[in-house]
Amino acid sequence: MKILFSPSESKREGGEFPPINEDSFYIKECYEKRLKALEKYNEIVLHRDTEVLSKLFGLKKIDECEKYRKDIFAQKTLKAITRYNGIAYQYLDYEKLNEEAKNYIDENTIIFSNLFGPIMAKDQIAYYKLKQGEKLEGFNIENFYRQNCSEILDKVLKNEDILDLRAGFYEKFYRIKKRYTKLKFLKNGKVVSHWAKAYRGIILKEVANAQISKIEDFMNLNIEGLKIVEIQKNSGFDLIVYTIYA
Task: Render pLDDT for 35-60 as a digit per residue (tens, 0 to 9).
Answer: 999 999 999 999 999 999 999 999 98
Average pLDDT over residues 91-104: 98
pLDDT tens per residue, range 103-123: 999 999 999 999 999 999 999
Between strands 162-164 and 180-187, the pairing is parallel
SS3 139: strand
Strand runs labelled E in the chain: 2-5, 78-79, 109-113, 117-120, 124-125, 162-164, 180-187, 190-191, 226-233, 237-244
Whether the pLDDT of residue 246 is over 70: the answer is no
Count other C-beta atoms under 10 Å from residue 234's C-beta.
9
pLDDT band at 178 (very low <50, low <70, confident <90, very high): very high
SS3 193: coil
The rounded mean pLDDT for the chain is 95
pLDDT at 183: 97
pLDDT at 98: 98
SS3 243: strand
CA neighbor of 50 nearest in space, from 60, 35, 37:
60
Whether the pLDDT of residue 142 is over 70: the answer is yes
